[in-house]
Structure 1
Amino acid sequence: MAELVWKKKQQQTGDTEGSNLATSRPPIELITMDETSEVNNEPGWSNRLIWGDNQDILPALLPLFHDQVNLIYIDPPFMTGRTFGRKEQLAYSDTWNNDIDAYLQWLYPILQTLHQLLAPTGSMYLHLDWRTSHYVKVMLDEIFGFNVQGNGGGFKNEIIWHYQSGGQTRRYYTRKHDTILFYTKSGDYCFHKERIGERRGAQKRNHMRQVVGPNGQISWTIKSAGKLYTYSEDTLIPPSDVWSDISHLHQRDPERTGYATQKPTALLERILLASSEEDDLVMDCFCGSGVTPIVAEHLKRRWIACDKSELAITTTSQRLQQHTLHYPYKRLYTLQAKESNFG
């Protein structure tokens, strides 16, 4: 199998994200929900919001959650060469000094540990863009195993999230999409495309023939391999691997929190509905503005959310507390936690 190689591969250097703007690693702090939360059916379960560095958090979670996480979504730094924050408060550094080796060396052990946390029937969605997605795909093929047939574990889709936004370029085609890599740990995994379909409607699609019934209802027919297939207006069409129906968050979007790299809830709703069940355990170790735990809570999934940024943890915690009227929270509390407290 092909393998991606970079400087210092396999060596644990302790480098943190942003490279040249690395600061002291934050203490590990655990924020949990009341154990009597009505969201989850598992007795004694508390959702976990953890502030700290993934190099500390993920190994600490392994003893209890090895092979237990049903769905992982991560939206790590893209190696943009920028820093992100709000009102003079740094969210995270994504500079890297144009050093792809440092970036890959930082991300590789994180992905290895996430693979260990993933349940045998689990799925992972990794959200990147044009800068590093091709490198990381080869890295994931190494970790999950390369399967060109796609009938076992490993690569399933390269999802293109195409969005409309301002800005044009003169010297190359304008870049208007992100890449979401979809991998599974085995060939036995949760996937429900019927939950995320779009109503077919009366619009002509492909080369189908329109049929108007006696009551005026429109249906569509197409013949394939000698068989005639008929679809009504209410038939659901599952999305392909190009998602252009979900907009990015505009400046005045009511969802916006002010967190620079916030993703829309519709994006996470699609992923969680397709690849998890109620009470499944969902994890996001780059939770940013808190979209993943918010959506997981709404869809009645258990969750673990982590981030190194104090701004991200504050934003997420505030959003969760603001949703107490809409979702069945009991209360939130914080505590200082050592590794042994993660259980």
Structure 2
Amino acid sequence: MTNTLYFGDNLHVLRDHIASESVDLVYLDPPFNSNANYNILFKSPEGAQSESQIEAFEDTWHWNDSAEDAFDEVMRSGNTDAFTLLRAMRDFLGENDMMAYLAMMAVRLIELHRVLKPTGSLYLHCDPTASHYLKLLLDGVFGATNYRNEIVWKRKAGRGETNNAAIRFGVSHDIVLFYAKSPASAFVRQYRPNSQDYINSKFTHVDESGRRYRLDNLTSPSFRPNLVYEYKGYQPPEKGWAVSLERMKEMDAEGRVHFPDSKEKRLQRKRFLDELEGETVDTLWDDISPINSQAQERLGYPTQKPLALLERIIAASSNEGDVVLDPFCGCGTAVHAAQKLGRQWIGIDVTHLAVGLIEKRMKEAFPALDFEVKGRPQSLASAQDLAKRDKHQFELWALSVVDADPWKGGRKGPDGGIDGIIWFKPDGKKTEKAIVEVKGGATGVKDVGRLAQVMEREGAKIGVLITNQLPTRAMERDAAAVGVWENEYTGRKHPRLQIITLAELFQNKRPDIPWVDTSVAKKARREETSKQAKLL
């Protein structure tokens, strides 16, 4: 199924939903095993009093039963080369976090190899922490002969490794490992603009029409009798000219031949600047900057990659209409680039936060685009099941339904009775907030009272309690006792404490909030702050 976002473990999604040899290009940017907890920072809109952040994903892998199961699955996969390498790594590394990361990656790389067409390619984005181990795994899964390149993406700024400043150079690059499934894999040469220094040093001539050009050799590299001829009094070099007499006449008529002022000198070819495709892109990519604090495409996702980076990869190893798969799609840069370039796409992520972020991103970038989101609750029963299996992902799903930003109070630990915030502008100017609390289990009068206290503490105009259970009469009575809030701008009155059940969410009931301004959240996600840099 193309043009689809999947919420779930990519290993299960690949096995259950992605057919063998159905994908043309895989790009993956998995967690790097850097033992860092990344957070998404939602900067509060102008007029709000604080900032919120939530943990996006934990970039930490541990050797446990899941890692052991992944190791065993590689053994049972039938890929003896991959298992031999993985077993050797286990002997060398032991059963530690790095080994857990490699076992988890190995079983997924085997599945990604399965879903690729014979003409397909894979790009694995990583950092130097584990790139050498991952390259060995890729050799085992894809075959060493199908290795194509180790691409170095140079970041313009280092990563602020002040703790290691005395023992090593700062790390300012990522690695992208490029593998093909077979010699038949597609590849299109890419170009980038020539540097101004190169232009100034090489294209030093200008013709009568103002076109800049450089001079190039017209000598044949090997002797051919038909290329040895005199042209307009200029004697041929020993091995002859690089072109036939007929072609020389054509070039002369087109103004592509340089005639020196002395017949003792050699004719030369004119290479016009405006006809060059640019400089060929090789393995050092130092012309694409990372997402900075002022970038328009900034979403606030900590590992977000530039759209230009993914456009280059997709343009190089796929054609229009091809299927691009990103199994760790994060904030969706790969699927965004795929859609922009006319490809079909599949994105997978294990966090509902990421899937919801991508869904919003794609709708904003491509309003007419039709795509599916699978794996998240589509019925009351599936929502209740998610609440039992994964409280955190259930909470994120419920918040996304009411268009609330997740909240952690700018700190780790208790959320202070706030799961999410809905920002709105009742008068079109001043920003207000509604506090959202999500309860997937038992609820009672105490939850209504607690939310009312949080509303007063935070100065929130409205509170929303999303509950799995039907509210009791006592809960409804206490919620009504909190009163109503009147929007002075419109004169409308809104219940201050509102209770919405899961069943009502599936009946399209939403919080009664005036003028919900989603552009506030959209702007907030694009903004980077100095605090964000410190968090990372």
**TM-score, normalisation: structure 1:** 0.75
1:231 aligns with 2:271: yes
Match of 2:8 among 44, 49, 52: 52
Secondary structure of 2:58's partner?
Answer: strand
What do residues 20-69 of structure 1 show as CA deviations (whole Å, max 9, x unaligned)?
Answer: xxxxxxxxxxxxxxxxxxxxxxxxx651100101221111134xx21110
1:139 aligns with 2:137: yes
Alignment CA distance shift 1:113-1:330 (3 Å)? closer
Alignment-derived partner of residue 101 in structure 1: 99
Secondary structure of 1:138's partner?
Answer: helix
Secondary structure of 2:198's partner?
Answer: coil
Preserved CA contact (<8 Å) 1:207 1:222: no
Alignment-derived partner of residue 210 in structure 2: 216
CA separation in 1, counterparts of 2:324 and 2:35? 29
Preserved CA contact (<8 Å) 2:214 2:272: yes
CA separation in 2, counterparts of 1:230 and 1:53? 57
| CA apart distance, 1:253 | 1.6
| CA apart distance, 1:201 | 6.9
Query: What does 1:170-185 correspond to in 2, within 5 Å?
Result: 170-185=166-181
CA separation in 2, counterparts of 1:231 and 1:188? 33
What do residues 138-186 of structure 1 show as CA deviations (whole Å, max 9, x unaligned)?
Answer: 1101111112xxxxxx111100000112536343111100000011011
CA separation in 1, counterparts of 2:212 and 2:61? 56
| CA apart distance, 1:92 | 1.3
Preserved CA contact (<8 Å) 1:76 1:286: yes
CA separation in 1, counterparts of 2:216 and 2:315? 29
Q: Which runs of 5+ in 1 are unaligned?
A: 1-44, 148-153, 339-343
What do residues 105-157 of structure 1 show as CA deviations (whole Å, max 9, x unaligned)?
Answer: 1100000000000100001100001100011001101111112xxxxxx1111
What do residues 215-268 of structure 1 show as CA deviations (whole Å, max 9, x unaligned)?
Answer: 332223444873577532130222111000000011222211111111010000
Alignment-derived partner of residue 150 in structure 1: none
1:68 aligns with 2:22: yes
Preserved CA contact (<8 Å) 2:149 2:283: yes
When structure 1 is superposed on structure 2, of 251-260 and 239-248 the one drifting more is: 251-260
Alignment-derived partner of residue 191 in structure 2: 197
CA separation in 1, counterparts of 2:115 and 2:326? 12
Alignment-derived partner of residue 31 in structure 1: none
CA separation in 1, counterparts of 2:355 and 2:33? 21
| CA apart distance, 1:198 | 2.2
Alignment-derived partner of residue 277 in structure 1: 319
1:162 aligns with 2:154: yes
Secondary structure of 2:156's partner?
Answer: coil
Query: Would you say how many aligned residue pairs link Structure 1 and Structure 2?
Result: 282
Alignment CA distance shift 1:61-1:229 (3 Å)? farther
Preserved CA contact (<8 Å) 2:4 2:373: no
Alignment-derived partner of residue 14 in structure 1: none
Paired letter, 1:192: V
CA separation in 1, counterparts of 2:195 and 2:272? 8
Paired letter, 2:128: W
Question: Of the two, which has the highest radius of gyration?
Answer: 2
Alignment-derived partner of residue 295 in structure 1: 337
Paired letter, 1:119: K
| CA apart distance, 1:333 | 6.1
Paired letter, 1:89: I
Secondary structure of 1:204's partner?
Answer: helix
CA separation in 2, counterparts of 1:127 and 1:230? 41
| CA apart distance, 1:331 | 6.7
Structure having the higher helix fraction is: 2
Which protein, 1 or 2, shows the higher relative CO under an 8 Å CA cutoff with sep ≥ 6? 1
Structure having the higher strand fraction is: 1
**TM-score, normalisation: structure 2:** 0.49
Alignment CA distance shift 1:171-1:229 (3 Å)? farther
Paired letter, 2:281: P
CA separation in 2, counterparts of 1:230 and 1:128? 43
When structure 1 is superposed on structure 2, of 123-132 and 98-107 the one drifting more is: 98-107
Over aligned residues, Cα RMSD in angstroms? 2.5
